[in-house]
Chains A and B, each alone.
Chain A
Amino acid sequence: MKSAPFTHHAPDSVGAAVELLGEHAGRARVLAGGQSLVPLMHRRIERPEHLVDINRVAGLDRIEAGAEGLSLGAVARQRAVETSPEVARGWPLLCEAIAEVAHPAIRNRGTVLGSVCQADPSAELPAAALALGGRVVAAGPGGRRRIELGEFFTGVTRTALAPDEVAVELVLPPPPPRTGSAWLELSRRSGDLPVAGVAAVVGLEPGGRCDHVRVACANAGPVPFDAAEQVRPLLGAALDRESAAAVGEAVAAACDPVSDYQGTAAERRRVLAALTRRALLVAASRAGGAL
């Protein structure tokens, strides 16, 4: 199908983009990579009257690693992030998760922050960014504000962004020392959205005990599932097969997956339990490997 008629705007600054969004509030959408939005527009699930295309705003494609962490501009392409040596060094979880997103031609256009803002609960990048403790910088008429990802996702494809705000930056803090991470997913075909996916980040004390652990899951509920509560027993303890399996079971019990053509909720819980256990063990072994 073809998209419903709309007017394309290509502002050259964030300020101009915010102005356009304010002028057409509720009837406009921001266009970054467009690899999720455009198919929805073709199917007319989305029918914005105005598209505010931020691809012409200078500097929004930046990928910068520094003391503050990793800063990704709103149009930093998934492929560019995936193949960045700096990202691979500091945030390998992101590279691992991006590699599972669709296919090269899609990742050449699709953006990391765009996927986060699309907030599809089954997608890889919202869960991966959540596990990495990310935050979004949003620009609006009143200036800029930071939104922690824990508060960013408000429902299926819904976020805390106001209609006249545009997300301009994703910031991922620097990983604690001796940290390992893993992205694991089950998908029926390569490049498909996963049946379920799990991001794990594990930091180990020199003695081998866990001093930092985060797990976030894709397709485990209406928003990326943050397993903060379920991983708490691991803090200060040794991470082994038994404790990792216990977290997996706790995640499966606490999450709220849907039943759909890819699997039932019960099947998803089993998958999430297994992926959580494995992701924690892989992350822990990678953290140990860095000792």
Chain B
Amino acid sequence: MSGGRTEIELTVNGECRRCQVEDRTTLADFLREELGLTGTHVGCEDGFCGACTVNLDGATARSCLLYAAQADGCAVETVESLAGPDGELHPLQEAFRRCHGLQCGFCTPGMLMAAQEFVESWPPGSPPSDGEIRTALAGNLCRCTGYQGIVAALQSYFESRDQPRRRDER
């Protein structure tokens, strides 16, 4: 049987996009193949690996477990939204670079999107423990098993984020 097609309109990284998609197209494939946003990586297509994590209406989601037709009317942010228009890295990306938080880079987009949600939900003051960081990122697999650098990147991010505040308190 032939499947349906749907006309969708959504905001991707602040830009309104309108497209006709095959109903079975995942959001991940739509972002990569229709919009050319290849920063979002597709690993397992099963929800396990987390490489395809994007932000959908303010919360992270697996873009391989969503059909593009479901995102009609939604706001999607991908890893491409993190750096500034001039290429200036997001503080999280800076921390990943500083701490060798990536080797092959395949898991990095998903790691960054999951990390972004985590750091934004974490109140300033006392930074999360190593264990809390690991739990927050447990849904993202790194095939280089470079977890130590990734955890160090988040610790470093929190250090620089919360440091000015600590100086004020002194």
Contacts and interface: CB of A to CB of B under 8 A. Distances in A.
B2 interface: yes
Interface stretch (B11-19, B81-89, B94-102, B133-141): B133-141
A53 B72 CA distance: 12
A232 interface: no
Contacts of B46: 39, 42-43
Interface stretch (A97-105, A139-147, A233-241): A97-105
B1 to A, nearest CB: 6
- Residue among A6, A10, A53 with the highest chain B CB neighbour number at 10 A: A6
A8 B4 contact: yes
Contact of A34 (B24, B59, B66, B136): B66
B117 interface: yes
23 contacts: A2-B45, A3-B24, A5-B22, A5-B23, A6-B4, A6-B23, A7-B3, A10-B70, A34-B70, A35-B47, A38-B65, A42-B45, A79-B59, A104-B60, A104-B114, A105-B59, A105-B117, A108-B56, A109-B61, A109-B62, A109-B65, A189-B138, A191-B139
B50 interface: yes
A189 B136 CA distance: 14
Given A35-B47, A79-B59, A5 B2 contact: yes
Contacts of A51: 23, 67
Nearest to A38: B65
Contact of A104 (B45, B67, B139): B139
Contacts of A31: 70
B78 interface: no
Contacts of A1: 45
**Lowest 10 A-B CB distances belong to which pairs?**
A103-B139, A5-B3, A7-B4, A8-B23, A105-B60, A108-B59, A3-B24, A8-B69, A38-B65, A190-B138
B51 to A, nearest CB: 11
A87 interface: no
A44 to B, nearest CB: 11
Interface in A2-58: 2-8, 10, 31, 34-35, 38-39, 42-43, 49, 51, 53, 55
A105 B62 contact: yes
Contacts of B118: 104
Interface residues of B, number: 35
A60 interface: no
B60 A2 contact: no
B53 interface: yes
Nearest to B29: A2
B163 interface: no
Interface of A: 1-8, 10, 31, 34-35, 38-39, 42-43, 49, 51, 53, 55, 79, 102-106, 108-109, 189-191
Nearest to B134: A190
Nearest to B47: A39
A55 B56 CA distance: 14
Given A38-B66, A55-B70, A103-B138, A108 B47 contact: no
Contacts of A8: 4, 6, 23, 67, 69-70
B5 to A, nearest CB: 9
A4 to B, nearest CB: 7
A108 B61 contact: yes
Contacts of B4: 6-8
B124 to A, nearest CB: 20
Contact of B47 (A79, A106, A190): A106
Contacts of B114: 104-105
A2 B138 CA distance: 25
A42 B66 CA distance: 11
Nearest to A2: B24
Contacts of A108: 56, 59-61
